[in-house]
Amino acid sequence: MNTLKPFIIPIFLPQAGCSHKCVFCDQYAITGSRKARPDLQSVTETIHTFLTYNHRKHSEVQLSFYGGNFLGLPENYLIQLLELAQSFVNQKQIDSIRFSTRPDTVTQNQLQLLKNYAIKTVELGVQSMDDHVLLLSQRGHKAIDSCRATECLKDSGYQIGHQLMIGLPGETEDSFYQSVTQVIRMRPDFVRLYPAVVLKGSLLADEYTSGRYHPLSLEKAVTLAKKSWILFHSHKIPVIRMGLHSQKDIEKNILAGPFHPAFGHMVHSERMFDRVTEKINRSHSNEITILANPEDMSPLIGIQQSNLKKLRSQFPKKRIQIVSDPGIKDICILENLKKNKGG
């Protein structure tokens, strides 16, 4: 099986096709662009620019429409974009098309329209499976719409991704995990996890400044993401992204909330810390060597060696070191029991 990631050519459609302005959303803050609908010439130029990059190491090339509600676009503009994308498919310059859309815009009529194009992947902005949370977030759809959309897309043979947000208005820890559980039941092909942050210009900014909304702390958001990652992983559903992409336009427009440019790294680092702590707790040695594959070294050690420092603080009587070993697939603990007995 080819596990290489696709080479993504991103086309951003900030706020385009959106009939609702969700409380957390400000696509200008996210994309840095106030132009809602790029013209076909600029889309073509973007495609050609990305095709000049080295994408041979990837399994396929996907043209991806992000940032708006793709199936909510005016039909003539939607068809123009699809025809343009298909022309690159026909020329064998790209392999498939991908887009993100709202669950309530996935209809039989729209699916009929898509049949003639090389669309492989559809990402649904599920955000939550709690109707109360969706109402407070002004999503304009209900959880049942995500269920129906997922079923329709599966029946049509598309690869499906679900986007979930952590820490939306009215959401509790229990309701978030209930959303995770319901998403698992729907069996998407992959998931993205985004912590809710307060963006300047969003409706959530007003709620935050008036004290009606309290964003999650970074530590809490990381822990919730970690626990949900473990749940998805146990059901063999990949989490392909955790946290917002780090870029200047986002960071300068965040008022509050659990943003960190290495959010996903922090999640995996906390997960590694939990696993290693459990192993050390079972050890009877005061001399501990943790072996890890080179790919796991960075999250295992933690940002600025935070995990290593916490381990040494939590186990002050143990001498702990971390060693890279390309010959192993998973982390393991070596115990120097002989030295321990002699000491």
**pTM score, two decimals?**
0.89
Cβ–Cβ under 8 Å, residues 97 and 117? yes
DSSP 20: S
Distances (CA, A) of 33 to 13, 14, 17, 99, 300: 9, 7, 15, 19, 37
Coil, helix or strand for 62? strand
pLDDT band per the 50, 70, 90 thresholds, residue 100: very high
Distance of alpha carbon 202 from its chain centroid, rounded? 21
- CA-derived radius of gyration, the chain: 23
Q: What is the pLDDT of residues 196-227, one digit of tens each?
A: 999 998 999 999 999 999 999 999 999 999 99
Q: Which of 177, 285, 169, 170 is nearest to 223 (CA)?
A: 177
142: left (phi over 0), alpha (psi -120 to 50) or beta: beta
pLDDT at 23: 86
Task: Give the residue with greater pLDDT, 21 vs 113.
Answer: 113
Q: What is the mean pLDDT of residues 280-285?
A: 89
Distances (CA, A) of 211 to 206, 214, 215, 251: 9, 7, 10, 22
Residue with tokens 């698992």: 184
pLDDT at 245: 80
Q: Which domains does the chain have, with CATH numbers?
A: 7-261 (3.20.20.70), 276-342 (3.40.1260.20)
Name the phi and psi angles at 68, rounded to 5. -130, -165
pLDDT at 25 over 50: yes
Count other Cβ atoms within 10 Å, centred on residue 102. Answer: 26
pLDDT at 2 over 50: no
What stretches of the chain adopt beta strand conformation (E)? 7-12, 61-66, 96-101, 119-127, 159-166, 190-195, 198-199, 239-242, 254-256, 287-292, 319-324, 332-335
pLDDT at 89 over 70: yes
pLDDT band per the 50, 70, 90 thresholds, residue 263: very high
Largest CA distance in the chain: 80
pLDDT at 267 over 60: yes
pLDDT at 62 over 50: yes
Q: Which of 109, 112, 191 is nearest to 146 (CA)?
A: 191
Please report which helix (H) or strand (E) contains residue 57, including its range. Answer: none
Q: What is the mean pLDDT of residues 155-180?
A: 97
Q: What is the mean pLDDT of residues 237-265?
A: 89
Range in 64-78, 161-175, 245-259 the model is least confident about:
245-259
Range in 40-44, 48-52, 162-166, 249-253 the model is least confident about:
249-253
pLDDT at 175: 97
The mean predicted confidence, pLDDT, of the chain is: 90
